[in-house]
Structure 1
Amino acid sequence: MFDKLLIANRGEIALRIQRACKALGIGCVQAYSEADTGADYVRTAEQAICVGAAPSSRSYLDKAAMLLAAEVTGAQAIHPGYGFLSENAEFARWVEEAGLIFVGPLSGVIRRMGDKICAKRAMIEAGVPCVPGFVGELTATRDALEIIRSIGFPVIIKAAGGGGGRGMRVVREEKDLMAAIAATQQEAEKAFANGTVYVERYLDNPRHVEIQILADKYGNCVWLGARDCSVQRRHQKVIEEAPPVDVPQRLLADVGSRCVAACKALGYVGLGTFEFLFEDNQLFFIEMNTRLQVEHTVTEMITGLDLVQYQLRVARGERLDIEQKDISFVGHSIECRINAEDPLDFRPSPGRVDFWQPPGGPGLRVDTHVSSGYVVPAFYDSMIAKLISFGRTREEAIARMQGGLRQFVVEGIKTNIPLHLSILEQDKFRKGAVSIHFLEKWLASK
């Protein structure tokens, strides 16, 4: 149990966590960098503490500074949000060793699921379907060639400790294999301090589907439906929706129950997301995110559950008050990530927001920390808001999203709102079931 929490993050998710804390009667301390001194969510927090300079390496990624901030303010728990330290097993261990509560799974579980080879082994043991491949370290030897011949080309070489779209190479021919393994190992060592790589069959035209779970420390666990996150650019999600279009509900229910079994076997506590590729009416596990997701909002809209409140409640030691039979899915929800960037060349567009007028009306939700006069820093991710729509049908959700995007007024900086409007007008998107390559192929054809 805790009654005071340090929010070790910034932007819209910091404000989202603050609101959940207030609803539960939990005091919150906002950690912030020098670049975020004037942000509204810093002023609205009951208490705030500067943890360092503007660069994230000297503030939001500084584990010692965050831990010290919790200790000097009397916070008994730390919520890492997403990004930054949210899946850093060492930081979670430091929090545990300091006698504080990390809002998320135990450090050992984060470490196990953060290693893609270990995660895949755990999923195979639990009966969760995985992409065919070699569950072990791959090296540039003749053995690798034999292994990959047994899998069949094309394959994808992946960093075991990777993420964010880095540390991956597709190999279509034998002659390119050894060079690809060596290059991926080198990139992985530089980016993640872990040069271990592995191999999977490359799926040419999959969709990205993920399953949300929620577990308490007493062995209770439920799955909360699925999301489609296939509209991506450079492996970064742009639009997400729930539920996925044309994915059989029986398949989702079967795999969802297997994910629940895997969580129970792992001793998992908190929110988590199992990510899959979907092709030929099959789901294939690729990784697990041991944290709150940016796109948790669309799951909230179709389930009516406040996932951040539930995340805090299970971290406080409460039992889940819902069972699988209590969960139902109503309507359709879409989320557009609103970024401060040029909609044509995607260059970041930091600077002062001269005028900010978000949309409103039935079936629209805006999660943001921005208002008129806010200065978007150049140091962090470019996302400044999330616009979420809800409708009885997907068509209604799309129509409401289009209306909301057209109402959204942002002056002083560029945003990707025009890109979202263009995507929503595409026939392929409107029909649903686009692959993870849809957006990049469409942009290349313009």
Structure 2
Amino acid sequence: MSDGLQLPKFSIGVGDRFAHQAKAQLAACVMALKAGVEVVPVWNKSNREHMIIGSEPKNTRIAADEAVKELGWTKPYFLDADHINLKTVERFMEPCDFFTLDVADMIGKPADPEEVLAFVHRHPELVGEVSIPGVETPFQTDIEFVKGVANKFLAAVQDAGKIYAHLLEFKGAGRFVPEISMDETDYPQTPVELLIILAAIADEKIPIQTIAPKFTGRFNKGVDYVGDVAQFTKEFEEDLAAIAFAIKQYGLPANLKLSVHSGSDKFSIYKAIHDGAKKFGAGVHLKTAGTTWLEELIGLAEAGGSGLEIAKEVYAEAFAHADELCAPYATVINIDPAALPTPETVNGWTSEQYTSALRHDQSNPAYNQSFRQLLHVGFKVAAKMGDKYLSALEANEESVARNVTTNLFERHIKPVFLGL
């Protein structure tokens, strides 16, 4: 089920809000290759981000292609139509070769009762004692349980099937990488629930190469994981086991792997991700996005002068419009308003004070995760600045690029893919 374009074992989703850091991001992948591991870049930018910034997916394609040419990158690379559905996919068709099928709106919507029943009859192996190699205790299910899970997820999988069929018609078989996102739901899926979802995906004949399940804990934007690391570790490994089993059981693509969404800056679970992937010989897709935009701000602030002034201006505007900026991200941020410095205070900061508050270094007492989260969702402010912001990036390219590359390689690639 996996002919054609193949996503390699290790990949990293690199968001680039303003299409200026493709070269700096790719430089981190070059460093990984020199360190002995191939981690391929997948540039991702959602429809919402394009709408806010006023950009087109083709801009991201141009930036990625130019970076690849300039750095002489000969390994694969991809462009992700991030979280698309049938209403938003068209503008991504031509430039993209990786599609994250977003079926969040359909999760929990009841499926056709006859189709649920047909699914259960098709899959007697999911009823009773379900043993998954690599999971210590077999799962005990019954027909009602499988019907319940199917009822929750079948309509979503069928929706993914419609999006995939539409892509197939335009792109052609084997000419793009499909991912399904199941992470935007209230509760994490158990391994047996994931197995049921994968059976449904196989029934729909969607040759997914990555799947993003929901994990326990909070994956807040731009800050560390909040939750029980031991529980996450158990879930992650059991999900890897369920995927390995589903590949054999249902003929899904051999390179099918877990995708960790909102994966940037989740430092406390990176060891678990690395160790789990190593234990199962599995691949991983780590999706990062806003962390690059924050490194742009750090680079500007670090450069001082007009760069620091722009960074301060972005914060002042974000502070003034905090409610509006935070509303779309309410479920994935956790800001303490009392911890936010006033713009007047920030306007008096040195470069070091600004970067110390923003850079994700938890050993620094000046690090302020509320400040960081507000700026994470504040890219709309920079978008409204237009050429003023972009000119600042270009004028301070060395400082910005250095921070972008260092952040991706040292804080993300090394712990996740190299185990360092």
TM-score by length of 2: 0.33
Higher percent of residues as strand? 1
TM-score by length of 1: 0.32
Higher percent of residues as helix? 2
The answer to which structure, 1 or 2, has the higher relative contact order (CA under 8 A, 6+ apart) is: 2
